[in-house]
Amino acid sequence: MGEISITTDEIIYWQSGWFKLNATIVFTWVVMAALILVSLWVRRRLTGTTTIPPLQNMLEVVVEAIQKQVGDVSGRNPARFVPFVGTLFLFVAGAAVLNVIPGFHSPTASLSTTAALATSVFFAVPYFGIRELGFSTYIGQYLKPTWLMLPFNIVGELSRTLALAIRLYGNMMSGAVIAAVLLAFVPLFVPVVMQLLGLITGMIQAYIFAVLAMVYIASATRTRGAVVASSHVGPEKTLSLEDPVSNQPKGE
């Protein structure tokens, strides 16, 4: 029975001195190339007629679903967040889809890949926060209710970044290892079922990762006062800043 690799970092294709070309790097670029090629393919064949190609129709459904989910989580225009959050989702989901191909090793089964994705979220949070609130207002959130909370807030930012990376890595790596073990002992039928379950798990993890990233970004783009105020609004009644007349008592 062949040796089972726990992570794609252990699969080395080429090495020169300190540089190692491992499976993580190779298949990360494969996923990126596949996403780019599919995008270019659909873009060249875009049509506004009633007869829409199946691939364009599928991608329109995916993009609209991402826009709706981002808008629901952020509570504002999703256009500024969709490129980043949508890219995270499509990369993780694309790796899960390609993982059903024999010989493909999902790069998300490597802690280095999931750590890189989580790190991008870590830097995206202050970027969007400062862009929406301004530098002084955003930084001021870390000093509330007192400056003594600053180290705790910083640790919180770092810990949730670590949690993002380990959560995605653990789920994707465990599925790959279980499929490899079953393939070694039961080479027929069972691995096929596990690959399908792995695909479903990968899509779920892509959704969770993207939603969590959007939750962190949305919390950074709101002041604490706005979050507290929104928490007191009932489920059937919302506050509107654009329609002050609706908030006045009847008879005025």
- Between the alpha carbon of residue 118 and those of residues 57, 123, 143, 212, the distances in Å are 30, 9, 24, 10
Q: Which residue has the tokens 């001021």?
A: 140
* Domain-embedded: residue 38: yes
pLDDT computed for residue 142 by the predictor: 85
pLDDT value at 69 more than 50:
yes
The three-class DSSP label of residue 186 is coil
Contact 96, 206 (CB under 8 A): yes
Length of the chain: 252
* Domain-embedded: residue 216: yes
Q: When comparing pLDDT for 204 and 46, which is higher?
A: 204
Determine phi and psi for 21, rounding to 5 degrees. Answer: -95, 95
pTM: predicted TM-score of the whole model, two decimal places? 0.79
pLDDT value at 122 more than 90:
yes
pLDDT band with cut points at 50, 70 and 90 for residue 1: very low
* Domain-embedded: residue 190: yes
* Domain-embedded: residue 57: yes
**Closest to 217 measured CA to CA, from 92, 69, 64, 70:** 70
* Domain-embedded: residue 175: yes
Contact 65, 210 (CB under 8 A): no
Output the six-digit token pair for 35.
């996403």
Q: When comparing pLDDT for 146 and 25, which is higher?
A: 25
Q: How far apart are the C-alpha atoms of 160 and 109, rounded to whole Å?
A: 19
pLDDT computed for residue 94 by the predictor: 94
pLDDT value at 153 more than 50:
yes
* Domain-embedded: residue 241: no
* Domain-embedded: residue 197: yes
User: CA torsion angle for 153, 115, 88, 163 (degrees, to 10)?
Assistant: -50
pLDDT band with cut points at 50, 70 and 90 for residue 64: very high
**Closest to 43 measured CA to CA, from 22, 65, 59:** 59
Q: How many domains does the chain have?
A: 1
Positive or negative CA dihedral for 44, 210, 117, 74? positive
pLDDT value at 252 more than 80:
no
Output the six-digit token pair for 244.
């002050």
Q: How far apart are the C-alpha atoms of 170 and 46, rounded to whole Å?
A: 38
Output the six-digit token pair for 172.
């994707």
| Residues of the domain holding 138 | 8-43+53-224
Q: How far apart are the C-alpha atoms of 39 and 45, rounded to whole Å?
A: 10
